[in-house]
Structure 1
Amino acid sequence: MRSRISDDITFRKLEVLLAYMEGGNLNAAARMLDISTVSVHRALHSLEEAMSCQLFSLQGRNLIPNEAAQVLAEVSRDVLKLMADGIAATRSAAGYSADHLRIGSLYSLTTGIIPEVIIGIKLRKQELETELVLGSNADLLHKLKQNAIDAALMAQPDPDPDVESIPLFEDEVFFAAPGGSPYAGMKEVDLRECAGEKFVCLRDGFVTFNGFQEAFRIAGFAPTIVTRVGDIFSLMNLVGAGIGYTLLPGRVRDAFGDRVQLIPLKADFHMRQTIGLSFLRVRERDPNLLALAAVCRMLKHGAK
């Protein structure tokens, strides 16, 4: 039968022992671990009691490690390294990686905020490899909960106890028309007057499509949809080619130059999207996610 290890022997106390052995005194160990000398002394005394054997002798005010302490320190190095490797392997199996960060994003953010985020991450953590995963809001939220991505820049999801979201900016939704269309020079568009027009839209799951549906619900009619697409840039191409009109967020305004013009909607149809960084709450202390959150907060501050 395997002998039980006392609950009073912890990884933290073994770390304190190693710091003391390497530093040679209480002050040096305290500096290495960023704790007080009292905490170091208390941990060593508690470890000695838990081991049920003497580890140190007292010479004046100094603790002198004996042979038993040397043996325990050597074992502790192996134990702590093995545990650190085990934690890394476990996190890797769960889809987490210390040197790899998978960032989910809406397609519409790739022309603005995403390049700045990736540059900011590289400046903070040069060794970190970033992978960009594009999708709809629904796709990204599903991938986030399945640990297929580490974080997502997307429209803020509905409140969820498992998901933490940091709002970054708000974006207004506009009526999108090809350059030179009858709507292009208008100050605002009343969707109720567009019942005879043809429209193109995104597929279900995109936050912009949700706004599209809500706007026409308010307008009181079902739009004639000629085609649906799976990304916002294909949608803008269709608008630019004159296939149909649509609704688009302001963040893509400059993506197609004058080919696609965004015209404000009448006040009855005003809609805003809140874009933010979302990640699982269980990972809120993950160093990579803390770095990502810091970069996003800086971009938010700089945009004000």
Structure 2
Amino acid sequence: MIPDIASDITFRKLAIFMTFMEKGNIARTAEALALSGVSVHRALHTLEENVRCPLFIHKGRNLMPLPAAETLLEYCQEITQLMARGLEETRRTAGIGQGRLRVGTLYSLTLETVPRLIMGMKLRRPDLEMDLTMGSNETLLRMLEDGVLDAILISISESEIDRNSLEVLPLFHDDIYLAAPASASLDSKKLADLRDYHDQKFVSLAEGFATYAGFQEAFHIAGFEPEIVTRVNDIFSMLSLVQAGVGFTLMPGRMKKMYEGSVQLQKLSQPYQMQQLIAIVFARNREMDPNLLALAAEGRMYARSLQDNVG
């Protein structure tokens, strides 16, 4: 059974009341809470009305608590302490603010971005454990929405992201390149026109990966359907197939350092040039989670370091 408590009795009014009982007058209460004296007086007056019995009497210009106010104070202290414990337990049940952060990432970001963020997080929060899950854009977004992950590092597009429910922290933009086996005849000094490769075989990522979406869009612009030998579920397997001479592909620039000696890269010509925006994404209703605040701060530092290097 729900007790008959007036809806106008709020935690804010109770907080003002408890501060007044501690400070002893309206002026000091207003100063402590950064409120006006009028606001404090109104809160105390309406609380008295809601409780339906006298709590104070006036002695000159001073407001003096009655014994009823002392009784109410005891219960206010008890209920606010109980509510604080309840909120803490609620967050613990939801896995928020605890000693573990569940992060999802694209495979390609494990080369540099994720290690840098993990190292920074270890300095900020040494006791924090980070669980890492790798997958496609589509899979990671679904896991975030289902509450399986706390934050994800993905390539974002406006059509995928609900800005009303998700917080997005951009990290960097990444260009897409044509990648070919070392044995292929490729002039890396020229821009790649995909129409010149309509006779080539290609390998690609499976549907749901960010690079796959760019792959489809580029060949749509080129006006032909490429012959795809195989589709794989991670970018490392895809580029291993390119190394082995199985076919060509499109790949993000962040993979260049690892494969520049074994895979030929060519920048795409103007009609096909595209960028991926890599970002940290998490639920907006968890933006005050201390662990996510630390991750966001580290992400901003990482993004700033990349800009400084470019500058």
1:169 corresponds in structure 2 to: 172
Change (3 A) 1:68 1:227: same
Aligned AA (2:47)? L
Task: Tell me the matched-pair count.
Answer: 303
Residue 109 of structure 2: aligned partner = 109
- Do 1:201 and 1:209's aligned partners in 2 also have CA atoms closer than 8 Å? yes
Change (3 A) 1:67 1:273: same
Q: CA deviation at 1:249?
A: 0.6
What letter corresponds to residue 145 of structure 1 in structure 2?
E
Give the Å deviation of 1:207: 0.8
Match of 2:149 in 1: 149
Residue 253 of structure 1 aligns to a residue in which SS? Answer: helix
Distance 1:172 1:98, change over 3 A: same
Distance in 2 between residues matched to 1:193 and 1:135, nearest whole Å: 32
Query: What secondary structure sits across from 2:78 in the alignment?
Result: helix
Structure 2: distance between partners of 1:37 and 1:127: 44
Give me the identity figure in percent: 47
**How has the CA–CA distance of structure 1 residues 283 and 65 changed in structure 2, closer, same or farther, with 3 Å as cutoff?**
same
> How far does the alpha carbon of each residue in 1:120-155 deviate from its partner, in whole angstroms, 9 at most, with x for none?
445555665443332211112212222222332212
Aligned partner of 1:201 among 199, 204, 207 = 204
The answer (yes or no) to whether the contact 2:96–2:289 under 8 Å persists in 1 is no
CA RMSD across the alignment:
3.2
Going from structure 1 to structure 2, the CA distance change for 1:125 and 1:181 (only over 3 Å counts) comes to: same
Q: 1:5 to 1:189 in 2, by over 3 A?
A: same
Structure 2 contact 174–254 (Cα < 8 Å) conserved: yes
Alignment of 1:1-304 (within 5 A): 3-23=3-23, 26=26, 29-30=29-30, 33-58=33-58, 63-93=63-93, 95-99=94-98, 100-122=100-122, 128-157=128-157, 158=159, 160=162, 161-179=164-182, 181-183=184-186, 185-284=188-287, 286=289, 288-304=291-307
- What's the secondary structure of 2:142's corresponding residue? helix
Deviation at 1:176, TM superposition (A): 1.5
Please give the secondary structure, in 2, of the residue aligned with 1:254. Answer: helix
Q: C-alpha displacement at 1:166, in angstroms?
A: 4.0
* Long gaps (5+) in structure 2: none
CA distance in 2 between counterparts of 1:125 and 1:44 reads 42
- CA separation of 1:79 and 1:231: change in aligned 2, threshold 3 A: same
Give the deviation of 1:70 after TM superposition: 3.2
CA distance in 2 between counterparts of 1:21 and 1:268 reads 71
Structure 1, gaps ≥5 residues long: none
Structure 2 residue matching 1:149: 3-state secondary structure:
coil
Report the CA distance shift for 1:224/1:277 in structure 2 as closer, same or farther (over 3 A): same
Q: What's the TM-score once normalised by structure 2's chain length?
A: 0.80
- 1:149-205 Cα offsets, whole Å, 9 max, x none, are 233221223153544434432211001134454326443323222233332221110
**8 Å Cα contact 1:177/1:239 also seen in 2:** yes
